[in-house]
Amino acid sequence: MRQAHAVERAVGMEYYVSDAPGVGGHLRASPEDFRVTEIEAFDPEPLDADPGGYPHLLARVTLHRWDTNDFASELSDRLGISRERVSWAGTKDKHAVTTQLFSVAKADPDALRDVEISGVDIELLGRTGRPVLFGDLAGNAFDIVVRDTDASENAPAITDDLRAFATGDESADALADDADETTVGVPNYFGQQRFGSKRPVTHEVGLEIVRGNWKGAVLAYVGSPAEREPESTRDARAYVDETEDWAGALERLPRRLGFERSMCHRLVERQEAGDGDLDDEDYRAALEAVPSNLQRLFVNAAQSYAFNRILSERLDRGLPFHEPVAGDVVCFSDSDAPDGIALPDTDRTQRVTEDRLRTVRRHCERGRAFVTAPLVGTETELGDGEPGEIERDVLDDLDLSPEDFDLPDEFESTGTRRAILLRTDLSVEHGTDGAETDDADALSFAFSLPKGSYATVVLREYLKRDPEDL
């Protein structure tokens, strides 16, 4: 294993599991170099179905350089409807070409078909009885070009390492340059974007929330300057840390930091309405000044950080990822998943005992079961044996316990479990056949991942670069 970059270690990703040096290079030299297509798990009725029983139009939309939220707002404006009538299955990056499902409630099919927006292609699929909701997809297929590589010749050795990690077979033969897809595996880390590349603090905010330190959570988000930020931003955050002067912070924080400014504004209001002193209730109110999805993200990031730490500790101890040891908790595969993608069903779990170990290992080998680790919440039951020891050690180090997640409103989380191994059939090719710009030194990657997993977690093993330089 190789030690990861410092910014990755800060969010719990301690290692690369491939020993081979990286290829270098850059992601997203243009949005067209990062193509994402949802693997759909939604069957519509025909367009001529009864709109009373099936009021939602389902569309497959390809977006060129569009943020998902921005497109939803633009589409609702063009149709003259409320933004709340537009729903989608997964949020995608603006710096990409994405094909994904959207639904529009009580819309005219002809009006939707006639919408013309630059960089947008809309294909009507039919009608549904409910809106598309977050998670209504099985996964995503990726076609990604990495440009400006320094050592593309290292790619086969990296693939060889990742194939061995996927199966536990250290004797895997080196991959030929012209080989077809091969199965590779990496730890199913939460990627850097979960926490922030320039300033990875969302988990720090979440940890303070879960510990009941509402003031500390606000300071972690509004203060805590990072070296990678512009100097004016660093100065404003440092002022917050030094003075806790919220009115002064409003004067100094750049306008683009809208969420930080919302928190400061709420605190100033509370000071003016009271005697000037602030308590836990006031700081919690400041955190509730931001959108509810961001409130949930703070706690989710804390869970993700603990999960990453658990995976890194498992690597440190040399425990396998592709098969369980006694004490692990496994989940089984989703029998309704589309062909070609293994989708863990974390609602179906089983503890692995010594007498069941051989049987469960066979299930894992055949892709019918997956070793898991906890995303800790109020209903979390930790593992036994050495896996349970790892989970408890990490939580103790973070001063966390499952009951700490019994929090008010959007901050509460019951928790779940998540597969620890991310396995996929992957192809790597030299050059950029089919890309808009030819580049003989580039590498083209094609693979699919289950929902909730990160393409960058696969690609970091190949590039081995600071996430900010990707």
The residue annotated as part of the active site, out of 19, 70, 77, 93, is 93
User: Parallel, antiparallel, or unpaired: how do β-strands 24-26 and 137-149 relate?
Assistant: antiparallel
- CB environment 7-38: b (16+ within 10 A), e (fewer): bbebbbbbbbbbebebbbbbbbbebbbbbbbb
Question: Which segments of 313-442 are extended strands (E)?
Answer: 329-333, 344-351, 369-375, 416-419, 421-430
The one-letter amino acid at 145: V
Tokens describing residue 281:
């209730």
Beta bridge partners of residue 57, listed in sequence order: 104, 127
What would the two tokens of residue 89 be? Answer: 């299955």
For this structure, is 93 an active site residue?
yes
Region of 140 (left: φ > 0; alpha: ψ -120 to 50; beta: rest) is beta
Q: Name the β-bridge partners of 183.
A: 425
Q: What is the enclosing helix (H) or strand (E) of 125?
A: strand 120-128
| Neighbour-count burial for 265-304, b at 16+ CB within 10 Å, e otherwise | bbbbebeeeeeeebeeebbbbbbbbbeeebbbbbbbbbbb
Nearest to 189 by CA among 356, 445, 420, 354: 420
What residues are labeled active site? 93
